[in-house]
Amino acid sequence: MKRILCIILDNLIAAGKAKPMFVVMPNGNPNQYAAQTLGIPVKADVKQYASGFDVLSLSCGEEDNRIDGMKDFKAKLEEKGYKGVVWEQYPGGHEWKVWRRNLASFVQLIFK
């Protein structure tokens, strides 16, 4: 994934759609299926922490069984008055091809 991230960011920087940056992408939920495919140890007591956000980008694959929950989450945020919530969906499931497209889109949003 590190190599793919570098390619995506290098291409966006070269096209003038992003600026050079440091990127830290911790795995916030190592119990998920995708994390297990990377060989990351599974932790039984994972805690979720809230954080602030200038833009909140939500995306999901159209074939992902989580899509209805994600759409509901976006609606609830908007009902509570959160601004800057961006929703995108892409062909695919809960997989890297969806996440790569979202990363390329998100990086460009933070530089608008």
Q: How do residues 45-75 score in pLDDT, each as one tens digit?
A: 544 444 455 678 899 999 999 999 999 999 9
Q: What is the pLDDT of residue 93?
A: 93
Q: Which residues are 56's β-sheet partners?
A: 85
Query: The tokens of 69 are what?
Result: 């929950």
Inform me whether the pLDDT recorded for 31 exceeds 90.
Answer: no
The angle at the Cα of 40, spanning 8 to 22, to the nearest 5 degrees, equals 35
Average pLDDT, the chain: 78
Inform me whether the pLDDT recorded for 33 exceeds 90.
Answer: no
